[in-house]
Structure 1
Amino acid sequence: MALNSFLIALALVVLVQGASFGQDERVRYDNYSVYKVKFETSEQRSLLKKLVEDRENFRLWQEAQDELHLMITPSALGELETVIRKTNSSAKLFISNVQELIDLEEEANIKASRDGSFGWTKYNSLAEIYAWLDEILVAYPAITESFILGQSYEGRTIRGIKISYKSNNPGVFIESNIHAREWITSATATWLINEFLTSTDELVRDLAQNHDWYIVPVLNVDGFAYSHEKDRMWRKTRQPSDISSCVGVDPNRNYDSHWMENGGASSDPCAEDYGGPNPFSEPEVQALADFVSSNKDKINVLLAFHSYSQLLLSPYGHTEEEFPPNFDDMMEVAKAFGDAVESLPYGTVYRYGSSSGILYPASGATIDWAYNEQGVEISYTIEFRDTGRYGFILPPVHIIPNAEEALVGIVALLDKCEELGYLKLK
């Protein structure tokens, strides 16, 4: 971004206050902006990432091999400009006011809630999702079964639903909303549940009836509730730290698989990717691990829903120097997903590769633990829409298109898994 553009931006916000946070108020992000910062070298990346150590002014939204997405307070634009100069990198504004997007999302949610029904024209709260699950279980008692993973740090129940039309099906496990602010994930997971039970489309019926589905709509229940009630941009769990006033752990860095290796998570409790004081320190992560471990002989495929970036990511996350033995197969499966999604009228493009290869080291993640420690040979993180226009605050109008893409992609993914022999009963 040209320096004069930075000066204009600074002039526009010089008298504007940043986020406010009262005891009984929601965190606000008035005039917080989000920039795509492009870099070429590891030295540039290192200097740019030092900015997010100042958590009051900088938040890392997304990271790739040559790009960072940074949310910035109005008062910190000058510091960003200085670092851009120093590193000879470039920046482009893509969200000028984060709070405006949050307000528009809230307005859409309120409008869609007026009739009191559950649906996919809004983002539903944890209480609404659980009430709807109860209705589903009553309406389809022969096909659905409730399961409980455990309790969160704050005592909330972590719930899942199993959908099974017949015995001797391969199993697909879906983890959703491990990161609190990624609301599109639970919206997509609940839409899929509804489709598996109600669709009359022959392709969907075949998909639903010939696989057993284990779906956890919201894993990080405390963080998800907090993101609805207090801070829309909250990512982590809500367990306090023994060594810091900062709260929460990145649950997708807390699994006991190459935990904290190769810079794949932070040891700073204030960081968004804090791996925790030890593996499985978070009860939510331990609960999912216990369930998957107890049912691993029934699970052929594990999919972890995330946003944003439009990516399909496979193990390994802890290193880009090594590849899983069946990496070529996983890339073939990922290509099938991407091709199917792109064939829809929306034309959405997904890239694919290993977590560390496409993005950055990310150790202690769900998919690596499932693959490395539980023998789930097909294990992916799916990063949903978009690539930065809205980021985490994807308008509700995108819910159904995103979910349709996920459905078509999963159909193709499982078809390719069947072709390659990954859906045999264990």
Structure 2
Amino acid sequence: MPRVAVLLLALTTLASVAHGAPPQTEAAAGRARYDGHRVYRVQPASSRHVAILQEIQRRYPQLDFWTQTIAISRPVDVMVPPELQERITETFNGYAMPYSIFIDDVQRLIDNESSHRQRAAGFDWTDYYPLENVYSWLDSLVEQYPGVVSSVVIGSTFEGREQRGVKISFGDGKPVVFLESGAHAREWITVATATYIVNELLTSTNATFRALAESFDWYVVPSTNPDGYEYTHTSNRMWRKTRSQSDDRLCVGTDPNRNWDYYWLDEGASPISCSETYAGPSVFSEVETRTLSEFLQSISDDLLVYLSLHSYSQLLMIPYGLNYERPDNYDELMEIGGKAVDALKQRYGTQYQYGTIYDIIYPAAGGSIDWVKKALGTRFVFEWELRDEGQYGFLLPADQIVPTALETIDSMVAILQEAVARTASR
């Protein structure tokens, strides 16, 4: 038997053993730790390398692919537990697959992610906060800005938490901007950025931003996956999915950004419950995506701009994620996207790419912005993959919250200015 086949067979044996045991992410007691877990950056140099990586990802859900395998020379980041590292690197070497250790110890990054200061009673952007603090801060805004800020409850989650945000309006009857974030629970920077944007909408004295803030009715939902987000703070920092479960599933949770009714369970989504991209047992099986879609339908007549925050990779994306299908206003969205990434770069020099989800990141059917564009016909639809390019990945240090938020706002301003101008010219 060829050496590479032996290596894959050894991995298959380990995978079958892992499937028979409780997943690592469902540790029986205490907080899950990632001591010695490494993130390898692999550079597939041939179509064979791409196929091998895709097969490894399909077969071994205990490997956490932080980015997806789609093309030659497109780097792939994969987190590997200590017990698999020797076998995995042997497989990479056996196939002459270029790789490097990108993060040596994931737990060390987790330990250093927050500021480690004593949190004050209030809420700020020098640290990451759990759901209770986020919701308390939103409640305080309703009290502080009566008639401008109102609480919006989208629905209840699988575990019974409220899925909620705020509406900010300086006079009803204006076109709507909807901002969603936190769909993937471990992407803490998205929740922090969304709350920073809320604060700026209410407090900024910048004339340009102030005019835009008052030109729209805003809906902001900082965490559209509250169960998962809370779980990352209490039990497992690297949790991605929802927390839904049933007797016929081996593993807990569904990827909420593969559960929307746009080519559900097609390319870029998995039917395997242990996969990080598990699409769920059916379209809108997750109460969080179902109730959010119903809410969006209720405001669709006024919905002009839909914005979504994810991390990481430094990308600004437009629909669609399945294939080379283009939105009906592709040229318009691409032109706006170019202006937005130019604006984002001005403050700190941060480089973003822009394009369709399929073109610049990976195939991903069943995502929120694709459904909003196709089902609701919303004209301006954009999704960010925020900082960074993988040095910290999902574990961006807290001292990067404010810079990330500020440059994201710069790009958002460019998008909204274009939306206003182009809508007025029709």
Would you call these one fold, judging by a TM-score over 0.5? yes
Cα distance in 2 for partners of 1:422, 1:250 equals 38
* Residues 1:77 and 2:76 are matched in the alignment: no
Aligned partner of 2:283 in structure 1 is 279
Q: What's 1:51 paired with?
A: 56
- Per-residue deviation, 1:422: 7.8
1:393 partnered with 2:363 = no
Alignment of 1:105-184 (within 5 A): 105-106=113-114, 108=115, 110-113=116-119, 115-184=120-189
Q: Which residue of 1 aligns with 2:111?
A: 103
Is the contact between residue 241 and residue 269 of structure 1 (CA under 8 Å) also seen in structure 2?
no
1:207 and 2:212 matched: yes
**Which residues of 2 match residues 147-296 of structure 1 at below 5 A?**
147-261=152-266, 263-296=267-300
Q: Structure 1: where are the runs of 5+ without partners?
A: 1-18
Question: Are residues 1:329 and 2:327 paired?
Answer: no
Relative to 1, partners in 2 of residues 1:93 and 1:287: Cα closer, same or farther, differing over 3 Å?
same
2:72 corresponds to 1:67: no
CA distance in 1, matches of 2:359, 2:375: 21
- Alpha-carbon distance in structure 1 between the residues aligned to 2:278 and 2:100: 27
SS of 2:199's partner is helix
Provide the C-alpha distance between the structure 1 equivalents of 2:422 and 2:90, rounded to a whole number of angstroms: 52
Residues 1:202 and 1:89: Cα distance change in structure 2 (over 3 Å): same
Relative to structure 1, the CA distance from residue 162 to residue 393 in structure 2 (aligned partners, 3 Å threshold; closer, same or farther) is same
Report if aligned partners of 1:300, 1:422 keep a CA contact under 8 Å in 2. no
Task: For residue 41 of structure 1, report the CA deviation from its aligned partner.
Answer: 3.5
CA–CA distance in structure 2, aligned partners of residues 78 and 226 of structure 1: 30
CA distance in 1, matches of 2:155, 2:200: 26
- 3-state SS of 2:297 partner: helix
AA at the equivalent of 2:206: D
Mapping 1:5-20, distance limit 5 Å:
none
By how many angstroms is 1:54 displaced? Answer: 2.1
User: 1:89 corresponds to which letter in structure 2?
Assistant: M
Give the alignment's TM-score, normalised by structure 1: 0.90
- CA distance in structure 2 between the partners assigned to 1:224 and 1:395 by the alignment: 17
Query: Residue type matched to 1:311 in 2?
Result: L
Q: Is the Cα contact below 8 Å between 1:301 and 1:377 reproduced in 2?
A: yes
Shift of 1:21: 7.1
> Equivalents in 1 of 2:282, 2:47: separation in Å?
28
TM-score normalised by L of structure 2: 0.90
Contact 2:321 2:363 in 1 (8 A): yes
**Partner amino acid, structure 2, of 1:313:** M
Indicate conservation of the 8 Å contact 1:112/1:121, yes or no.
no
Q: How big is the shift at 1:22?
A: 5.0
Task: Please list every run of at least 4 consecutive aligned residues from structure 1 whose deviation after the TM superposition is greater than 4 angstroms.
Answer: 19-22
Could you tell me how far apart the structure 2 residues matched to 1:319 and 1:414 are? 27
Superimposed CA distance per residue, residues 46-65 of structure 1 (whole angstroms, 9 cap, x where no aligned partner)? 21133333233x21111263
5+ long unaligned stretches in structure 2 = 1-23
| Alignment partner, residue 3 of structure 1 | none
Report what 1:5 is aligned to. Answer: none
Shift of residue 145, structure 1, vs aligned partner: 1.4
Q: What amino acid sits opposite 2:139 in the alignment? A: D
Q: Is the 8 A contact 1:334 1:413 kept in 2?
A: yes
How far, CA to CA, are the matches of 2:399 and 2:204 in structure 1?
21
The superposition leaves residues 165-199 of structure 1 with CA deviations (integer Å, 9 ceiling, x where unpaired) of 12342211011100000000010000111111111
C-alpha distance 22-241 of structure 1, shift in aligned 2 (>3 A): closer
> Which residue of structure 1 aligns with residue 5 of structure 2?
none
Q: Do 2:25 and 2:236's aligned partners in 1 also have CA atoms closer than 8 Å?
A: no
SS of 1:300's equivalent in the other structure is strand
Listed one character per residue, the Cα deviations across residues 388-426 of structure 1 (whole Å, up to 9, x for unaligned) are: 0100000000000000011111001111222333897xx
Aligned residue number for residue 16 of structure 1? none
**Distance across 2 between alignment mates of 1:49 and 1:193:** 39
- The answer to whether the 8 A contact 1:318-1:356 is kept is yes
How far off is 1:76 after superposition? Answer: 1.6
Correspondence for 1:93:
101
